[in-house]
Amino acid sequence: MKCLIVEDDQMARASIELMCQKIDDLEVVGSFDNGLDALKMIKSVDVDVLLLDIQMPDFSGLDLIKSLEKKPQIILTTGHAEYAVEAFEHRVTDFLTKPVELPRLLKALDHARQNLASANGSEEMSELFIKVDGRYVRLDLEDVLYVESLGDYVTFRTSKEKYIVHSTLKNIDDKIKNSKFLKVHRSYIVNLSKVVDIEETNMVIADKVIPVSRAHKPILMNKIKTI
């Protein structure tokens, strides 16, 4: 998803930028301290998600929303909760109070993904054809335990088979459109439905201990259901 950040407070903007950099499928295409510059960019670049401060001098976040002909997914940020009612009158995706924290931002971005998927009429991928030894093999994603990077190759591991494919993990991550699959480390994509155990820095799938990076841990914990 292409994301644009609009926040007049420098420290708050830097904090949001840092959090966004930790999210694999989010590309920050611009970051501005005022709504007018953001409006110019939105007219020339396709933006999926707008992270927008409400209170800004001269041209507020609400002024920017009213000026948009085609609205992206809008996540508003503010230190004043009393703006929530007016914000939702503009059908924004979510409303975050400052200081913005990563778990709450992740939930808001999940809402944006779901809305974008519904608007595009997209369905989750259930299978993938992979090239193995010169032939294409159909792989049911439900059978995949995890995908492991091996340099210029990746291994698809199921409970019964192991398939080695000439590709990068980034390429596989871009192609698998299924919410059950999540990159948890620079070398691993996992099927969340196959996770048996999660500890501080690793998880267990079948008999495999898989590392979980510090950057990916909050995203993982936001994805799974806990009590």
Most confident of 82-91, 122-131, 141-150: 141-150
Is the pLDDT score of 227 beyond 60?
no
Whether residue 113 is found in the same domain as residue 168: no
Domain that holds residue 106: 2-120
- pLDDT of 165 higher than 80: yes
> What mean pLDDT comes out for the span 160-186?
89
**111 and 160 part of one domain:** no
pLDDT digits (tens, 9 = 90+) for 65-112: 989 988 899 999 987 766 666 666 777 898 898 899 999 999 899 889
Average pLDDT of the segment spanning 192-211: 94
Q: What are the tokens at 68?
A: 């948009």
Give the pLDDT of residue 208: 94
Lowest-pLDDT range, 86-90, 106-110, 153-157, 173-177?
86-90
Q: Does residue 201 register a pLDDT over 90?
A: yes
Q: From start to end of the chain, where are the E strands?
A: 2-6, 27-32, 49-53, 73-78, 94-97, 127-132, 135-140, 144-150, 153-158, 162-166, 181-185, 188-191, 195-198, 202-205, 208-211
Q: Are residues 87 and 147 in the same domain?
A: no
What integer pLDDT is reported at residue 84 of this predicted model? Answer: 64
Tell me what pLDDT residue 83 has.
Answer: 65
Based on the fold, state whether residues 215 and 189 are members of the same structural domain: yes
Same domain, 50 and 88: yes
- Residue 113's pLDDT band, with cuts at 50, 70 and 90, is confident
Residues 108 and 205 in one domain: no
Euclidean distance between CA atoms 169 and 167, whole angstroms:
7
Q: Which two tokens stand for residue 13?
A: 């903007």
Torsion of CA 190, 213, 47, 64, to 10 degrees: 130
Task: Examine the domain organization and report whether 131 and 193 are in the same domain.
Answer: yes
Least confidently predicted of 28-32, 71-75, 124-128: 124-128
For residue 49, name the pLDDT band (cuts at 50, 70, 90).
very high
**3-state DSSP assignment of residue 128:** strand
pLDDT at 79 (0 to 100): 79
Indicate whether 179 and 211 sit together in one domain.
yes
The CA-based dihedral angle spanning residues 150, 155, 159, 161, taken in that order and rounded to the nearest 10 degrees: -120
70 and 6 belong to one structural domain: yes
Please report the pLDDT score of residue 116 as a whole number: 85
Measured from the Cβ of residue 83, the count of other Cβ atoms closer than 10 Å reads 18
Instruction: Give residue 224's pLDDT.
Output: 80
Domain with residue 101: its CATH number is 3.40.50.2300
Interhelix angle 102-120/10-21, nearest 10 degrees: 60
Residues 64, 14 share a domain: yes
Helix (H/G/I), strand (E/B), else coil: 14 = helix
- Interatomic CA distance for residues 173 and 170, integer angstroms: 5
Higher pLDDT, 106 or 226: 106
Q: How many domains does the chain have?
A: 2
Share of residues in the chain with pLDDT > 70 (%): 93
Beta carbons of 185 and 211 less than 8 angstroms apart: yes
Same domain for 6 and 67, yes or no, is yes
Question: CA dihedral in degrees (91, 96, 98, 103; nearest 10)?
Answer: -160
Last residue of a domain, one of 99, 120, 141: 120
**Cβ–Cβ under 8 Å, residues 64 and 52:** yes
Q: Does residue 26 share a domain with residue 97?
A: yes
What does the alpha-carbon distance between residue 144 and residue 158 come to, in Å, rounded to a whole number?
Answer: 5
Structure tokens at 88: 């939702």
